């Protein structure tokens, strides 16, 4: 068996050229990532490595969408297993029939390789059916030719590999390869080549062999140019992902920041830029986006693809400008790449983040650009600016509200910290329950329950300020930090450590974001507190309500903080009720439309998000829509009036108070 020097050298030269092209493009991408802000910090390495196993190798998030998840699993694992055939092929380049120890002579591995050739082709067929026949909406804004080219290349690789293995078997009649026994597919295909002459068989084998190798080398050069770059970038992207609570936005160092927010692509955090190169363009984020589903411009997938394309377009010029100190002409990030409407349509519900297999963070990028608009440019929708001015002047965003923070509590005998001293629990009322007439009933119901259960609690009354949640999500980081520091000082002055709140937005901010500024408290949402009171037997129900109920998961309680069960425990404990889930519930619940500060915005484009959610509730036939957020409650009340819906929105505290 001689050495085939011409073929071996040709393979090495082609591989060298393809590798050089690949490395050149990857180096270019790395230079673009280094334009971003922030430093590399890696903690909890064990957790990060486990995430790679679970989410990359195990495909846990990808498989949440069963059909597309299975086809992706077939193709992904197929390429991992079939990497062994590429190693074998490089030996064969110099010595035809060469066998790599443990790989080239293993019948078990050969059977596994054949199985995954078949599964990859099945996956390609499933993908073609999904794109060409089913055509889900999430694919409509992507490039179909790009997708079909990728599927064609994958098919070509599999055909080349299967053909080369089958013809190798047909060529080796006198000395069959050691892997022959396990190669069930290759043996079956070899039958097709029985009638070929030896010279023709050798020619066909070479054609298949080179087809397999050349497509792989072309694929290597093309990876940095297309969405399949995620095959490489998804590993560092998941390993380096944010491990802080999902509901905690990245703080802005107002004293050291060169820009208040992001107005240019290089002002993004470097990890935000890595996100864009890890985007799989699968469209799952867009498919679950409530703004996009109701006819608005916002497209979470385009958020990442547009940033990436813009970075690639201007990156070299930005690098050159940094070195020369000269300004450059370029499209504006906000205006040319994204419209202001695009940025102000996000309700920060985190549905996109929940679904993203690459763990991309959409909200941070949108809020960073809002920060630039609000703090650098003083630009925002008029109603947003009015809410921000009210927050700054009055400590709450309800412009024109005449009530005080304690009007809802008149005649209830509730203690105030300043007057009566601290209690075991501080009842953080929140702005909605203090100033919105409908939401005030939730605060009253909760207070009655606490009194019945004998809980020692007090309120801050006039000393309570907005936690700053709407200011932060509207982009006014300075105002948020001012409110946060004022509230932390008040809480620490009274020695308060345990906080109970009925608002998921207050809950999220107090629990997850105040620690960024030294405010560390035990924070409990009222759904959790009520479920605990019922478990402990501290509440005795007078009679069952006998209602058909459905529950709407608030985004900042559910997706942002992972609490789905506590409110359902309360509903189930009421007795005699039939709880029917909406189709989109728990992790995949549909937002009410109030998040991200948009409770104070005019929804002028497309269908109103709360109207869409009300229709989801109508489909259940429930008499009552339960929720655990005053903003969700008000949004449902608005939808009921507009659509004349037959159900009643009620907070779980109101329902429990009725049953006591």
pLDDT tens, residue by residue, 460-471: 999 999 999 999
Long-range contacts of 74-78 (CB under 8 A, 24+ apart): 74/116, 74/119, 74/120, 74/122, 74/123, 74/126, 75/120, 75/123, 75/124, 75/127, 75/154, 77/116, 77/119, 78/116, 78/117, 78/119, 78/120, 78/123, 78/158
What is the topology classification, in CATH, of domain 265-376? Fumarate Reductase Iron-sulfur Protein; Chain B, domain 2 (1.10.1060)
| Model confidence band, residue 401 (pLDDT cutoffs 50, 70, 90) | low
Predicted pLDDT at 29: 94
What is the topology classification, in CATH, of domain 5-236? Fumarate Reductase Cytochrome B subunit (1.20.950)
Fold match between domain 5-236 and domain 265-376: no
Q: What is the Cα–Cα distance from 507 to 469, expressed in whole angstroms?
A: 10
For 333, list phi and psi in degrees, rounded to 5.
-60, -45
578-579/624-627 β-pairing: unpaired
| Model confidence band, residue 594 (pLDDT cutoffs 50, 70, 90) | very high
Predicted pLDDT at 181: 79
> What is the SS3 assignment for 486?
helix
What Rg value do the Cα atoms of the chain yield, rounded? 30
Question: How many residues are listed for the chain in this entry?
Answer: 660
End-to-end CA distance of the chain: 90
Cα 495 to Cα 94, 424, 465, 520, distances in angstroms: 77, 11, 17, 12
- Say how far residue 633 (Cα) sits from the centre of its chain: 25
Domain-wise residue ranges, the chain: 5-236, 265-376, 384-659
Which of 90, 99, 67 lies closest to 10, judged by CA?
90
Q: What is the Cα–Cα distance from 491 to 506, expressed in whole angstroms?
A: 14
**H or E element, residue 425:** strand 425-428
pTM listed for this prediction: 0.91
Mean pLDDT of 275-303: 94
Residue 652 pLDDT > 80, yes or no?
yes
Predicted pLDDT at 530: 97
Predicted pLDDT at 308: 96
Predicted pLDDT at 207: 94
Strand order in the sheet with 498-501: 415-416, 457-459, 425-428, 498-501, 522-525
- pLDDT tens digit string along 180-203? 778 899 889 988 988 888 889 989
Share above pLDDT 70 across residues of the chain, in percent, rounded to a whole number: 97
> What is the SS3 assignment for 564?
coil
| Model confidence band, residue 535 (pLDDT cutoffs 50, 70, 90) | very high
Q: What is the Cα–Cα distance from 576 to 537, expressed in whole angstroms?
A: 18
């Amino acid at each position: 068996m001689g050495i085939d020097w011409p073929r071996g050298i040709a393979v090495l030269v082609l591989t060298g050229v393809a590798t050089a092209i690949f490395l050149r493009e990857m180096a270019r991408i790395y230079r673009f990532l280094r334009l971003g802000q922030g430093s590399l910090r890696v903690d909890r390495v064990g957790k990060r490595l486990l995430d790679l196993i679970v989410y990359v190798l195990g495909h846990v998030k990808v498989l949440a969408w069963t059909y597309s998840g299975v086809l992706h699993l077939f193709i992904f694992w197929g390429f991992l297993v079939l990497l062994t055939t590429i190693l074998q092929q490089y030996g064969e380049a110099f010595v035809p029939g060469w066998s790599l120890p443990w790989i080239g002579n293993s019948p078990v591995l050969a059977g596994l390789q054949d199985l995954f050739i078949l599964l990859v082709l099945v996956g390609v067929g499933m993908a073609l059916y999904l794109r060409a026949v089913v055509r889900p909406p999430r694919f409509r804004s992507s490039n179909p030719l790009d997708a079909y080219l990728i599927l064609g290349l994958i098919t070509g690789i599999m055909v080349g590999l299967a053909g080369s293995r089958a013809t190798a078997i047909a060529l080796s009649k006198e000395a069959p390869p050691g892997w022959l026994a396990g190669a069930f597919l290759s043996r079956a295909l070899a039958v097709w080549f029985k009638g070929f002459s030896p010279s023709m068989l050798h020619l066909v084998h070479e054609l298949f062999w080179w087809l397999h190798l050349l497509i792989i080398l072309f694929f290597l050069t093309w990876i940095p140019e297309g969405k399949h770059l995620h095959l490489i970038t998804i590993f560092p992207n998941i390993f380096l992902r944010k491990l802080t609570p999902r509901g905690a936005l990245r703080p802005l160092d107002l004293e050291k920041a060169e820009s208040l927010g992001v107005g240019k692509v290089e002002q993004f955090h470097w990890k935000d830029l890595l996100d864009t190169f890890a985007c799989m363009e699968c469209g799952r984020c867009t498919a679950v986006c409530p703004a996009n589903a109701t006819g608005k411009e916002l497209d979470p997938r385009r958020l990442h693809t547009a940033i990436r394309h813009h970075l690639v377009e201007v990156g070299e010029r930005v690098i050159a400008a940094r070195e020369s100190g000269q300004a450059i002409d370029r499209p504006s990030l906000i205006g040319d790449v994204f419209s202001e409407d695009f940025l102000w349509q996000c309700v920060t519900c985190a549905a996109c983040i929940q679904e993203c297999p690459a763990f991309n963070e959409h909200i941070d990028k949108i809020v960073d650009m809002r920060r630039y608009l609000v703090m650098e440019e003083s630009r925002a929708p008029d109603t947003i600016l009015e809410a921000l001015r009210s927050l700054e002047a009055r400590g709450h965003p309800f412009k024109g509200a005449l009530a005080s923070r304690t009007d809802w509590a008149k005649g209830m005998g509730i203690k105030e910290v300043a007057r009566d001293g601290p209690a075991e629990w501080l009842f953080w009322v929140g702005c909605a329950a203090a100033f919105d007439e409908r939401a005030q009933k939730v605060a009253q119901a909760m207070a009655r329950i606490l009194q019945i259960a004998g809980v020692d609690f007090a309120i801050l009354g006039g000393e309570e300020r907005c936690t700053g949640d709407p200011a932060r999500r509207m982009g006014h980081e300075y105002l948020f930090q001012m409110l946060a520091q004022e509230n932390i000082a008040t809480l620490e002055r009274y020695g308060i450590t345990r906080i109970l709140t009925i608002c998921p937005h207050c809950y999220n901010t107090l629990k997850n974001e105040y620690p960024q500024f030294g405010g560390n408290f035990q924070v409990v949402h009222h759904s959790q507190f009520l479920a605990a009171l019922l478990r402990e037997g501290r509440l005795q129900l007078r009679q069952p309500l006998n209602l058909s109920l459905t529950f709407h998961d608030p985004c900042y309680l559910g997706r942002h903080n992972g609490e789905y069960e506590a409110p359902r425990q309360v509903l189930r404990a009421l007795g005699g009720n039939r709880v029917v889930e909406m189709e989109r519930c728990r992790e995949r619940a549909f937002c009410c439309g109030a998040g991200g500060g948009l409770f104070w915005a005019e929804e002028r484009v497309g269908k109103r998000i709360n109207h869409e959610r009300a229709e989801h509730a109508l489909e259940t036939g429930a008499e009552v829509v339960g929720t655990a957020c005053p903003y969700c409650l008000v949004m449902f009340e608005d939808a009921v009036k507009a659509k004349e819906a037959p159900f009643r929105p009620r907070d779980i505290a109101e329902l429990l108070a009725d049953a006591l």
